[in-house]
Structure 1
């Protein structure tokens, strides 16, 4: 499918969803990990807001799929990517059902920015995840305002270091695993209105479809966040 056709399909999809999904005053997306949630002013990841994530791409994809997948309030999920390489079955194993997921592949950064803003503006309590090469402060402010107006939650997967209007910035990397449970090193690098610099080792339990804390770091940052 051509890129213009893909974007037109997104317009139609958002038009169908916006009549029933637009809600404001959204609260927080819960990870159900008290040690992390106590470090955040919203006791979770604030809805109506933009969050940034850096790190290893596959680790980020898996962690966000697990976090959003178990969030029953994010009924519709839009994932914007430069290449159509997401594996829906793998995401489903982490709890993100393909029936909730719309994937938009757009190579041009401007097209992805448009798709992100429209998704944030129209999905209400939904979630938007986007891989973005470059977005300046003005562009991220527009995305933040779109999320605020609708109650959506947005995640920008970034490689650049430009200033941003996002409420939080995270780094997610693979962590040592037993081979059965995905594991991540999750670091809160920046948080508006709160102290940052904390790290946690988190793993995913396929049986219960839930996160659990693996271990405290040797430098004591986990204990400091409790």
Structure 2
């Protein structure tokens, strides 16, 4: 009898907390890659909604940086709803995003003058709660700012994606600093798939899962996002000396 009363009191308390937070707490769900080798190493079998995820290029060059943004675009494309893309430099090449599955009619660009404003815009968009994902291009991601983004994402269940875009080599060092992100990825361009005839095959990436909460680090050689935003496991690791990839940022 006492146990039943205690359980009811706890249930009432949970309802009151949910009401104070602005609604019923959202159930944690994940977006699977639908690639067994990758989903197996991610808690829940995919990228968590209601969480912050980080993506960066494997090197300081624009090619790897563009691949990281395309990877993020493919993930955002597979969420439901409009996508807010926060940035300071409006130089994205939309046809490249569309090739990764993210079509222009789904994207709302939020332009800022300073990087600090990008982080503020991301938090505001996450708090709205009606978006599929919120993407932000930033060089630095301080721990305090990342915690605020993580909490805002948890509250509404919206996926937050930070694309770490470097302007110079020294800025890439900030990627090693701790953040509150649930996962952290590094993307490097590899030679495209070989074709039986002359031509350029599907681009390939080396995905490095640098950090994942309640999981282990891993790396995968994958075929780049297709027109639906999906990747697949690629055969062979290749040689990075002859890389190819799609242009994402306009000159």
Q: What SS is found at the alignment partner of 1:202?
A: strand
Match in the other structure for 1:176: 191
Over 3 Å counting, the alpha-carbon distance change for 1:106 and 1:23 in structure 2 is farther
TM-score (norm 2): 0.71
Unaligned runs of 5+ in 1: 1-21, 219-226
Structure 1 residue aligned with 2:124: 118
Aligned to 1:16: none
User: Aligned-pair distance for 1:209?
Assistant: 5.7
Matched, 1:195 2:201: no
User: What is the CA-CA distance between 1:206 and the residue it aligns to?
Assistant: 4.2
Q: Confirm or deny that 1:141 pairs with 2:141.
A: no
TM-score (norm 1): 0.78
2:221 maps to 1:215: no
Residue 32 of structure 1 aligns with which residue? 34
- Residues of 2 paired with 1:210 and 1:79: CA distance? 19
Instruction: Show the counterpart of 2:179.
Output: 164
8 Å Cα contact 1:49/1:166 also seen in 2: yes
Give the CA deviation at 1:202: 0.9
Aligned pair count?
194
Structure 2: 5+ residue stretches without partners: 1-23, 58-63, 165-171, 194-199, 239-251
Query: What is the distance in 2 between the residues matched to 1:29 and 1:129?
Result: 16
Change over 3 Å in CA distance of 1:33–1:118 after alignment to 2: same
Distance in 1 (CA, whole Å) between partners of 2:101 and 2:31 is 15
Quote the RMSD (CA, aligned, Å): 2.2
**Distance in 2 of aligned mates of 1:209 and 1:200:** 17
Name the structure with the higher strand share: 1
Matched, 1:83 2:89: yes
Which segment drifts farther, 184-193 or 82-91? 82-91
1:188 CA displacement: 0.5
Alignment correspondent of 1:18: none
1:129 pairs with 2:135:
yes
The equivalent of 2:101 in structure 1 is 95
DSSP-derived class of the 1:215 partner: coil
